[in-house]
A and B are shown apart, each in its own frame.
Chain A
């Protein structure tokens, strides 16, 4: 079974620029998550999708972050404009059984550095 694919692996941008990350979940996983992991901290949920609908985006800074999941498969997370404090690893995960908390698979993440 292929894992969760994310790209790019690394990105360096200047503050106020925009950036986009891409995630391809495991085939058949209806639930997709984007997490932000700042150095030295645990991952923090940004947004959860069920198919192509948003289940939870309460912690997404909507003034600069946006995410979409067209056709309920791939997803993109965008930051515009980026700030220094957005430097972090952005992890995508998918799950087939979100109600039980099992079956989570994480991607390797995209490391963003904002300078």
Chain B
């Protein structure tokens, strides 16, 4: 059974810092991995999707990497801004189904 963990659980940084969020999964037989953002009282917004054959994806100040063999992904946020404050969720989709297994998330606060 796939299990997804994320560290740290919470992170508070001053504006402008570069930061890294970590995601680990137990079964390396994944189809793809996706990073989501969740704002309080809102649904989830997809940030980056990495297929199992890819090593990384970039979108603006966000960069996500995938090391399938070690069961790890990192989300790198450059030059953080207060608007980046949210919970970031990692989700993996395995080769067998159409659904995602989510991690518990990292709650990020960027202080002005």
Q: Which A-chain residue is minimally distant from B49 (CB atoms)?
A: A102
Minimum CB–CB distance from B56 to chain A (whole Å) comes to 17
Total B residues in contact with A, Cβ cutoff 8 Å = 22
Does B99 lie at the interface of the complex (its beta carbon under 8 Å from any beta carbon of A)? yes
Minimum CB–CB distance from B11 to chain A (whole Å) comes to 15
Inter-chain contact A48/B99, CB cutoff 8 Å:
yes
Does B44 lie at the interface of the complex (its beta carbon under 8 Å from any beta carbon of A)? yes
Inter-chain contact B32/A44, CB cutoff 8 Å:
no
Q: Which A-chain residue is minimally distant from B32 (CB atoms)?
A: A101
Inter-chain contact A33/B99, CB cutoff 8 Å:
yes
What is the CA–CA distance of A40 and B104 in the complex, to the nearest angstrom? Answer: 6
Chain B positions 20 through 46: 1 when the CB is less than 8 Å from some CB of chain A, otherwise 0: 000000000001101000000111111
Inter-chain contact B43/A44, CB cutoff 8 Å:
no
What is the CA–CA distance of A108 and B102 in the complex, to the nearest angstrom? Answer: 17
Q: Which of A66-115 contact B (CB under 8 A)?
A: 91, 93, 98-102, 104-109, 111
What is the CA–CA distance of A99 and B97 in the complex, to the nearest angstrom? Answer: 8
Q: Which of B73-111 contact A (CB under 8 A)?
A: 89, 91, 93, 97-100, 102-105
Q: Which B-chain residue is minimally distant from A44 (CB atoms)?
A: B102
Inter-chain contact A107/B99, CB cutoff 8 Å:
no
What is the CA–CA distance of A31 and B98 in the complex, to the nearest angstrom? Answer: 10
Does A56 lie at the interface of the complex (its beta carbon under 8 Å from any beta carbon of B)? yes
Minimum CB–CB distance from A102 to chain B (whole Å) comes to 6
Minimum CB–CB distance from B85 to chain A (whole Å) comes to 17
Name the B residues within 8 Å of A12 (CB-CB): none
- A42-B104 CB under 8 A given contacts A55-B98, A56-B97, A101-B31: yes
Does B4 lie at the interface of the complex (its beta carbon under 8 Å from any beta carbon of A)? yes
What is the CA–CA distance of A107 and B103 in the complex, to the nearest angstrom? Answer: 19
Minimum CB–CB distance from B44 to chain A (whole Å) comes to 4
8 interchain residue pairs of minimum CB distance = A42-B102, A106-B43, A98-B98, A106-B44, A101-B93, A101-B32, A45-B99, A108-B43
